[in-house]
Structure 1
Amino acid sequence: MIIEGLNDFTAEIIRVWNTQMLSLRTVEHLYMFFFALFFSILIGVVTGVLTYRNQKLAGPVLNSLNVVETVPDVALLVLLLPIFGIGAAPTIVASILYSILPIARDTYTGLSNVPREYIEIAEALGLTPREVLFKVRFPLSLPLIAGGVRIAVVFTMGVVTLGGLIAAGGLGAALQNGIQLYDMGTILVTGAWVGLLAVLLDGIAGIIEKILKARYGTWS
């Protein structure tokens, strides 16, 4: 009985995987995910550094990013449609907009809160303010920045999955097919696969964060 149930379960997974082309959908999904995450990290870190170096900008910039976070993800996708059309472009842009805040905020916080004794030692060695920023403050902020990136991983995975609603492809498209056809097998298998990918990516981000904490400390 148990073996028969396992066989049926395996057969259902194979059916869904083949009919919904989940291998191709996974590649599409991860492409959008990593593309969006890369630019989120790039923009978020640069924003954090700029707001640290121009403290008057910190409040307005971070508050503006907070406003973006209050917009529901589906609503943001809809708002971007007239500009970028349907497909992957608005999905990637929405993912980036949602993910900038935790990275920028943690970059700014990390740079601003490096213990004073480290700065005094660097200044005593003759480092310029720019060298202190990039050789002392930034490396010591990496554990906190990694925490922001870990949050961005979750945001990005969620928005990319929702991209299936606007023909972005990826695993969200397979989920949308399952919902439209009321195919519970497709919904469950695809949903479980998305969840597993999210857990794996979060786990990788968590390992990187732990490595950075072990190297640079957990003062932040």
Structure 2
Amino acid sequence: MIFDDVTAVWNQFNLTERTIEHLWMFSIALTISVILGIILGIILYQHKKYAEPALNGLNALETFPDMALLVLLIPVAGIGEVPTIIACIIYSLLPVTRNTYTGLVSVRPEILEAGTAIGLTEADIVRNIRIPVSLPMIAGGIRIAIVFTMGIVTLGGIIGAGGLGAPLQTGIVLLLPDVIIVTGLWVGILAVIFDGCAGMIEKRLTVRYGEW
């Protein structure tokens, strides 16, 4: 009986297609966030005097209500996927940037001394020591970004972004509890799956580099 109800909701609201849309936006937003976050973290490491104001600025953006941000982006980016992806990037940039920067500056001094002793330049130390040792912390930042991105992509259904947020919004507006439950649970399952995968990667990196 429950399986039939879930199947009916799934087929009626095209949740397979909606899932593909959802994961498409999620993948784009997360990929851009990770790339920009790591690059920005490395830049802040190289220019430490800008690190505190930059991270404070990102933290201020993080405290801005996500729904309000989506609404404010509409005059600039229109409605649909673009403002949703931009909002995801804004919210996900902080954890990746912060963890990248923190990882780079937190390498144990004895490891750096060993690198200097064997003749490594500063660039070599960053590439061969600081970045590898920072990977577990960077993975932790990406794990947080995954949760943020999944949530905001879902919220993007309110401004016509499609994805799983669209049927969820329909269920809320029309008071359809079956749609709300099925779609909400599926979004939750996806978030748990991606978070679990990121957690496994983080543990492997910690085992590999955590004792450096």
1:32 has 2:34 as partner: no
Q: Which residue of 1 aligns with 2:191?
A: 198
Q: CA offset at residue 141 of structure 1?
A: 0.3
Mapped to 2, the partners of 1:218 and 1:203 lie a distance apart of 23
Q: Which residue of 1 aligns with 2:58?
A: 65
Mapped to 2, the partners of 1:94 and 1:134 lie a distance apart of 31
1:113 has 2:106 as partner: yes
CA change 1:102–1:182 in 2 (3 A) is same
1:155 has 2:148 as partner: yes
| TM score, norm. by length of structure 2 | 0.98
Mapped to 1, the partners of 2:147 and 2:31 lie a distance apart of 14
Q: CA offset at residue 217 of structure 1?
A: 1.1
Mapped to 2, the partners of 1:10 and 1:57 lie a distance apart of 55
Q: Deviations over 1:169-204 (max 9, x none)?
A: 000001011112211110100001000000001000
Picking from 50, 57, 67, the partner of 1:74 is 67
Q: Which residue of 2 aligns with 1:189?
A: 182
Mapped to 2, the partners of 1:64 and 1:217 lie a distance apart of 30
Picking from 93, 98, 120, the partner of 2:86 is 93
Tell me the SS of whatever aligns to 2:79: coil
Contact 1:143 1:218 in 2 (8 A): no
| TM score, norm. by length of structure 1 | 0.95
Moved over 3 A (4+): none
Mapped to 2, the partners of 1:134 and 1:41 lie a distance apart of 18
Mapped to 2, the partners of 1:178 and 1:15 lie a distance apart of 14
Could you tell me which runs of 5 or more consecutive residues in structure 2 were left unpaired when the two chains were aligned.
none
Q: Which residue of 2 aligns with 1:126?
A: 119
Mapped to 1, the partners of 2:161 and 2:93 lie a distance apart of 21
Q: Which stretch shows the higher mean deviation, 173-182 or 90-99? A: 173-182
Instruction: Kindly tell me the number of residue pairs found equivalent between the two proteins.
Output: 212
Pairwise CA RMSD: 0.8
Q: CA offset at residue 218 of structure 1?
A: 5.6
Tell me the SS of whatever aligns to 1:114: coil
Q: CA offset at residue 146 of structure 1?
A: 0.5
Q: Which residue of 2 aligns with 1:5?
A: none
Which residue identity lines up with residue 38 of structure 2 in the other structure? V
Which residue identity lines up with residue 165 of structure 2 in the other structure? G
Mapped to 2, the partners of 1:158 and 1:190 lie a distance apart of 13
Could you tell me which runs of 5 or more consecutive residues in structure 1 were left unpaired when the two chains were aligned.
1-7
Which residue identity lines up with residue 181 of structure 2 in the other structure? L
Tell me the SS of whatever aligns to 2:158: helix
Q: Which stretch shows the higher mean deviation, 118-127 or 89-98? A: 118-127
Q: Which residue of 1 aligns with 2:165?
A: 172
Mapped to 2, the partners of 1:49 and 1:31 lie a distance apart of 27
Tell me the SS of whatever aligns to 2:120: coil
